[in-house]
Structure 1
């Protein structure tokens, strides 16, 4: 900054050759005495050192020389007064730069220093240069700090010491040297002052580190230019980027004081690269536990390989969070799904392997596997090209032999699959704006407690969240929105899935999902699904519906509670059993479905809200609680709320254990099921054998296996109306469907009884 240049201020006083009538022997104020015609002053036209100069004999104790013009002074502006002087004869005086401080109205400003450092003239004929600095601020190097009220000054010099000596003085110079203070005034240290060159090739690592060391609490300025950093740089002060930096992918920029996405985007001049470098820093001890995107949208042109952004890390297990922003997929061929077909052999004895895989080099780890006898959401976990083998995330239920499989490698906006393991990582308040071009998020192959809170998965092409291993262990998904790209598509044509989980302990809480093929597939155990709203209807009259929640483990140990399950259903399967026929184990067990709202409209009568689909024979219910739910059908009624999908097999109802089905509400559901089931039976004609029928009201049309109680509702009479006080015994599992009991009396009787039946032990 130079006010003489930028604002046109007149700072330089005139040369002595122009006349001595503007040079005062007093303070320089109007009316003060001048040196024009003074007996002790004369202009010397030709001096060997100065050319034209002023010669003064010192006659006063403080001999003053002041320019009578008003030299302006503004806040933040610093002026340097320079005097060149030499002693000619007589006593040798001392010299100092001096001035008279004036406020805007011309009044004197008292209480401020009006002179600089004093210097002695040590010998005759030797030129001494004396300077003094005046300005508003009391900064190091400022001799005369006058404060913000100073408007102008009368500047010159003082001669002190013994009288009688003669001196010659060159023309006085006044210049703006604010630039000498600018960096400290603005609390900015410029990296170019420490040797940085913004030519894109010179290594500026040392210059950045030197600027950081000198900052002392100030900000670091990276001015316009491209500054190359060949090595990792850690800045302990806030950095401001007018220019950009470039560096190898393996090296890091650690902004410890302004660690946020906007700073990295500015530093690298590219949002996508800035995000990658910020993530790299996050996982490398940047002294922050989270990366804040500050509400910014990042346009992404290709899948973000998060491990490739951090080449020095293949696993990570320290809590880290990315929050508060949007990632949007740009239009790009980089999102296209890679599809490979290949012949391979499967044997249930090696239940998670495909062998003799043709074309294996072209199959990507993380690809979805499709083929006859392959369950849903089975992925390639790893591969061995030399052995021609693929390892899968789960067994196949009926794929023994050799066949042609299809492998689909979906592309993900954010892909963590390059890490071998990732634990305690989370994303909060992030929108994955897929624009029907790509999937949203792929987890690492292993790890635990990945958390997502308040995120939006908007219009994913194929998948919202994919686990291709056990990186979903303890997955936490809370308060998220899954918004399908298939809203206008009929249910039977939809292919996208909100999320899948292979491992245990998933928590899905307070989420909302719209019109996917499935909201979630959970293949592990110990899950909690609560407070969610997922809906999957269409406008087709009597239309089919797909499962909203798929439980792909028969011993699922899962709680499904307080959800709004809208135009979809819960499907419970064992499709990941390599030998799906039941031999040992718990079979279909440990599921609690409590206090949910089930709603459907315009569905086929055979639609049900809870569907069990055994993939082999011999399976049975061994712990199921369905309580306090509300089942309601709109625009037509449905037959029942629950059923068994017998596409492959039925359940063995003769072994049902611990089934509780009570306290539920049914609206436009023809059959109200319960277990235990209360039935009122009226025997109008006397008989010794009463057939009491469940009429399909036991859950899943189970068997009438036990009778808890038989209570007459009034007198039991003979055909002649004589009252009898006897009790019957019961024959269970009667009738063609095993859902009747027979009450056997000692004689032919008639009357009404209430019977409490059970389908379970």
Structure 2
């Protein structure tokens, strides 16, 4: 850059031959005395070394020479002032370049360096050149670093030392010397040229802003140094960091043209700080909807608290994405669980609240709750210390009264619990490397449409993704891989869970989960669960297997379609009901279609579909199990479905709208079918034929309806009249009686079902 060329700026003062009325013997400001007509100054037109020259006799302690014109001081531009001087007679003085710094309104800018180092003249007739560089930036080679306040200078020189000597001075040369510091075709500006000090303590925010304003599309260089920024700084031009910055937690750095994590790491020099600052900018500047981690791995030693990083808000409802990187947990005590045991009271009249909680100030939001009568995946969604109450993520099935509860706060790589509301947030193409030290993601308290797609959640100590409230409403999990940290453990010893969901409308698609205790614990409804593969076996022959999917409410309105369900089962409960005895909807609205159910070395009593009522009176009022493949290897299963009546049985007299059909069974002793068509041969003449459907009907249900009776050939002894039926006969209600008008023998095909179809 050369301002004389690019902008037509003329820095040169006039020659002395033009007159001495523009050359001041003071500071050069208007009204100062000049050398025109002075007794100690004269123009010499023919000097053997200089041609024309100013001859000056030193008569004062500091003999000043200042050009009264204003030499502009431009941010990013460096001006060199040169003078050639020789002693003619008398005492030999010292010579230095000097200038007066002028600011707005003609005021002098105090506190600046306004002189260069002096040079002593040592002999008469010897030409000595002195020079100095003036500029806004505090960099090596700048003699007078002035910053941004001065707007112009009165340039010249000083004679110091003994009086009485006579010197001659050649015409002063003032030129743009910026190219000394920058390459000539410069496509960037340096923050130091705009007054940045880079000493780690002085606030360089204004210099950064000035450099960005001057860049006009060029790159801003943050050169070597540590720059303290005590204000928000936004760069509207590209930025390159060779130095680093520091900022208070509540100040933001926004890099709008290179908004990515590698740039923030270069800026702050520390990965964790850089990630937090990038997240802060993501939620406080609207130019970008996503933070690209640039494929970088960030090693952290403590949880990333998203609300703390954002700093100035706990609610955000505009789409934001973090993508393309890895977050990994390094060894640290910061990952240790916080565990608190407190007494509290629970009432079914307020089913998601604990009252009278002792030691409540020490119970963190997001704590996992255990105690007598507490179902799976119950969390503290909010804490009211003043009132002594905790709000829970779901009701407790049998905890009425006062008891001790344990509150365990797992630690997460990325923790959104401090966010009260967050909508439309997504992680994409990320790896969360928990290393067995921590969990991966805790969702906000509330929100809509949180998404995790194309991500790897590896080796979480306790949980992959945790919902403590309603932020799982509309959750989308697509094409992720969940790898347990407990793969070497036998199933009964595992405790980790890939994900829990409390709210409705989640889409769980194309994921893979390996050897957790549970893949999903689902507390809401209206789920689409499709094309996933989750497997949970171990090396124990005939050992206990755990549920892959756990539904904790009776009415689920869910489809489970085209999944590979490997060495685990679907468990359907109502454990998140404060009054679990039947009082409304019972087990209803579940479709299990086109899945592969697979087991190896399983116990004969193992079943792939288990219904577990936590209260009395429940029945099935909407279940379709169709076109699935059930297969066992190295064992033969008794059945694929059963009722766990630990708390209560199902009421088989009330089932409605249940279909088990089109399924394939391999190495299963008894198929489950409803409606089921069976062929019966009556070889002895009788008016009452007893037909037993009990083994075929799912869940040990009763034969409640007969859909059709087809006679095969003639019925011997019958007059052709069709029989009537008596259903739900026998000790278990699984038999049907055909009652004929006359005793007869023959063969019939009868279709019965376990339910009323409507």
Q: TM-score range by the shorter chain?
A: 0.7 to 0.9
For residue 193 of structure 2, give the secondary structure of its aligned residue in structure 1: helix
CA distance in 2, matches of 1:678, 1:520: 36
1:627 aligns with 2:626: yes
Task: Give the corresponding residue for 1:597.
Answer: 596
Task: Give the corresponding residue for 1:694.
Answer: 693
For residue 669 of structure 1, give the secondary structure of its aligned residue in structure 2: coil
Tell me if structure 2 keeps the 8 A contact 1:629–1:665: yes
Map 1:65-214; keep pairs closer than 5 Å.
Answer: 179-180=179-180, 182=182, 185-214=185-214
| Structure-1-length-normalised TM-score | 0.77
String of CA shifts for 1:113-166, please: whole Å, max 9, x gaps: xxxxxxxxxxxxxx9x9xxxxxxxxxxxxxxxxxxxxxxxxxxxxxxxxxxxxx
Instruction: Write out the 4+ residue segments of structure 1 that deviate beyond 3 Å after TM superposition.
Output: 47-56, 82-85, 168-173, 175-178
Tell me if structure 2 keeps the 8 A contact 1:567–1:600: yes
Task: Give the corresponding residue for 2:635.
Answer: 636
Larger radius of gyration: 1
Cα 1:48–1:363 shift into 2, 3 Å: same
Cα 1:759–1:212 shift into 2, 3 Å: same
String of CA shifts for 1:205-252, please: whole Å, max 9, x gaps: 110111011112111111111101110011111111111111111111
String of CA shifts for 1:545-577, please: whole Å, max 9, x gaps: 100011111110001000000001111110011
Cα 1:184–1:740 shift into 2, 3 Å: farther
Tell me if structure 2 keeps the 8 A contact 1:451–1:476: yes
String of CA shifts for 1:379-424, please: whole Å, max 9, x gaps: 1122222332222111111112222211110000000111110001
Instruction: Give the Å deviation of 1:474.
Output: 0.4
Tell me if structure 1 keeps the 8 A contact 2:506–2:527: yes
CA distance in 1, matches of 2:277, 2:413: 16
1:399 aligns with 2:363: no
Tell me if structure 1 keeps the 8 A contact 2:694–2:701: no
Instruction: Give the Å deviation of 1:699.
Output: 1.3
Cα 1:708–1:245 shift into 2, 3 Å: same
Task: Give the corresponding residue for 2:755.
Answer: 760
CA distance in 2, matches of 1:267, 1:401: 55
Map 1:361-760; keep pairs closer than 5 Å.
Answer: 361-583=361-583, 585-718=584-717, 724-760=719-755
String of CA shifts for 1:256-301, please: whole Å, max 9, x gaps: 1110000011111111000010011011125111100000000111
String of CA shifts for 1:316-353, please: whole Å, max 9, x gaps: 00011000000000100000001111222222222112
CA distance in 2, matches of 1:184, 1:476: 54
String of CA shifts for 1:464-499, please: whole Å, max 9, x gaps: 000000011100110000000000000011000000
CA distance in 2, matches of 1:253, 1:267: 9
String of CA shifts for 1:84-140, please: whole Å, max 9, x gaps: 99xxxxxxxxxxxxxxxxxxxxxxxxxxxxxxxxxxxxxxxxx9x9xxxxxxxxxxx
Instruction: Give the Å deviation of 1:604.
Output: 1.0
CA distance in 2, matches of 1:276, 1:384: 28
Task: Give the corresponding residue for 1:273.
Answer: 273
Instruction: Give the Å deviation of 1:695.
Output: 3.5
CA distance in 2, matches of 1:746, 1:231: 98
Instruction: Give the Å deviation of 1:378.
Output: 0.5
Task: Give the corresponding residue for 2:158.
Answer: none
Task: Give the corresponding residue for 2:299.
Answer: 299
CA distance in 1, matches of 2:276, 2:445: 20
CA distance in 2, matches of 1:353, 1:216: 58
String of CA shifts for 1:421-446, please: whole Å, max 9, x gaps: 00011110111100000000000000
Instruction: Give the Å deviation of 1:365.
Output: 1.3
Cα 1:228–1:752 shift into 2, 3 Å: same
CA distance in 2, matches of 1:169, 1:529: 90
Tell me if structure 2 keeps the 8 A contact 1:53–1:171: no
For residue 457 of structure 2, give the secondary structure of its aligned residue in structure 1: strand
Task: Give the corresponding residue for 2:283.
Answer: 283
Instruction: Give the Å deviation of 1:204.
Output: 0.6
CA distance in 2, matches of 1:363, 1:54: 86
For residue 209 of structure 2, give the secondary structure of its aligned residue in structure 1: helix
Tell me if structure 2 keeps the 8 A contact 1:183–1:189: no
Tell me if structure 2 keeps the 8 A contact 1:244–1:268: yes
- Between 310-319 and 378-387, report the one with greater CA deviation: 378-387
CA distance in 1, matches of 2:702, 2:207: 83
For residue 713 of structure 1, give the secondary structure of its aligned residue in structure 2: strand
Task: Give the corresponding residue for 1:222.
Answer: 222
CA distance in 1, matches of 2:622, 2:533: 25
Number of equivalences: 610
CA distance in 2, matches of 1:699, 1:555: 19
For residue 616 of structure 1, give the secondary structure of its aligned residue in structure 2: coil
- Between 734-743 and 392-401, report the one with greater CA deviation: 392-401
Task: Give the corresponding residue for 2:338.
Answer: 338
RMSD: 2.7
Instruction: Give the Å deviation of 1:360.
Output: 1.6
For residue 737 of structure 1, give the secondary structure of its aligned residue in structure 2: coil
For residue 669 of structure 2, give the secondary structure of its aligned residue in structure 1: strand
CA distance in 2, matches of 1:290, 1:200: 30
For residue 426 of structure 2, give the secondary structure of its aligned residue in structure 1: strand
For residue 377 of structure 2, give the secondary structure of its aligned residue in structure 1: coil
Task: Give the corresponding residue for 2:19.
Answer: none
Tell me if structure 2 keeps the 8 A contact 1:560–1:593: yes
Tell me if structure 2 keeps the 8 A contact 1:694–1:740: yes
CA distance in 1, matches of 2:714, 2:318: 74
| Structure-2-length-normalised TM-score | 0.77
CA distance in 1, matches of 2:359, 2:473: 32
**Contiguous gaps of at least 5 residues in structure 1:** 2-46, 57-79, 86-126, 130-167
For residue 640 of structure 1, give the secondary structure of its aligned residue in structure 2: coil
For residue 657 of structure 1, give the secondary structure of its aligned residue in structure 2: coil
Task: Give the corresponding residue for 2:123.
Answer: none
